[in-house]
């Protein structure tokens, strides 16, 4: 492969950009945010995480002219038949609010006893070589946990204060970020992507 391959990240999140660059720059990728190319957010009309990630990656690749990377993620709660799922970020409506989403989740589970509050975070990553790439690289990873009845911790974002990790004995919002990057759905999806790109580009 050439010395540096530019890759557009279909996200405006600085934390994600940093995390992706740390893991992918050793492979010769230079990850650039979509804002550098004037890419606008697209409407997420898909019914699956992978379809929404593909919509975002395709727009980023189309506008920028470079290969693109996108993620889509959310929380699946068994007692709620999978909700909030692909609607996790907008569960309590627009404008998106972590606080309102967490309140809505607690209310939805108010009748639900301990031991019946299982769920999992999902992260789906796609890598599109060009806008019409028929075979994107796709990685899907989950992170099992339980939904707390009261928030704990101040780290992370999204539903992290309500997401209890039995193995760790703490919520994700209480977990040190180094551990989170190693254990989380997103961290392990990114590691999976790195393995697949090593094969494809190594």
Q: Is 115 annotated as a binding residue?
A: no
| Residue 61 or 174 having the CB closest to its own copies | 61
Beta-carbon contacts of residue 135 (< 8 Å; ≥ 6 apart): none
Active site residue 72: yes
Q: Least distance (Å) from its own copies to the CB of residue 74?
A: 7
Residue 77 φ/ψ, nearest 5 degrees = -110, 120
Report how far residue 140's alpha carbon sits from residue 179's, in angstroms, rounded to the nearest whole number: 19
Q: Is 11 annotated as a binding residue?
A: yes
Q: Which of 72, 78, 133, 167 is catalytic?
A: 72
Cα–Cα distances in angstroms (integers) from residue 155 to residues 13, 15, 52, 171, in the given order = 16, 13, 26, 9
| Residue 48 or 179 having the CB closest to its own copies | 48
Other Cβ atoms less than 10 A from the Cβ of 5: the count is 16
Q: Which two tokens stand for residue 105?
A: 């989740």
Task: Tell me which residues in 124-153 interact with its own copies (CB under 8 A).
Answer: 124, 131-136, 138, 140, 142
**Can you tell me which of 49, 66, 143, 159 binds its own copies, judged by CB under 8 A?**
49
| Residue 23 or 138 having the CB closest to its own copies | 138
Report how far residue 200's alpha carbon sits from residue 202's, in angstroms, rounded to the nearest whole number: 6
Catalytic residues: 72
Footprint on this chain of its own copies (rule: CB under 8 A): 47-51, 54, 58, 74, 76, 82, 85-86, 122, 124, 131-136, 138, 140, 142
């Amino acid at each position: 492969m050439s010395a540096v391959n530019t890759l557009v990240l279909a996200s405006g999140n600085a934390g994600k950009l940093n995390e992706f660059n740390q893991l992918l720059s050793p492979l010769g990728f230079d990850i650039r945010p979509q804002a550098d190319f004037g890419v606008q957010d697209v409407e997420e009309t898909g019914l699956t995480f992978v379809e929404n990630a593909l919509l975002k990656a395709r727009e980023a690749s189309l506008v920028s002219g470079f290969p693109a990377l996108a993620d889509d993620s959310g929380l699946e709660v068994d007692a709620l038949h999978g909700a909030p799922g692909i609607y996790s970020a907008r569960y309590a409506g627009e404008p998106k609010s972590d606080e309102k989403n967490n309140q809505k989740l607690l209310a939805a589970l108010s009748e639900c006893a301990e031991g019946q509050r299982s769920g999992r975070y999902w992260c789906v990553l796609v890598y599109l070589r060009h806008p019409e790439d028929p075979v994107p690289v796709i990685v899907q990873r989950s992170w099992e946990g339980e939904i707390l009845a009261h928030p704990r911790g101040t780290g992370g974002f999204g539903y992290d204060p309500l997401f209890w990790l039995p193995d760790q004995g703490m919520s994700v919002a209480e977990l040190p970020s180094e551990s989170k990057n190693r254990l989380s759905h997103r961290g392990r999806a990114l590691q999976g992507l790195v393995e697949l790109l090593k094969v494809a580009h190594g």
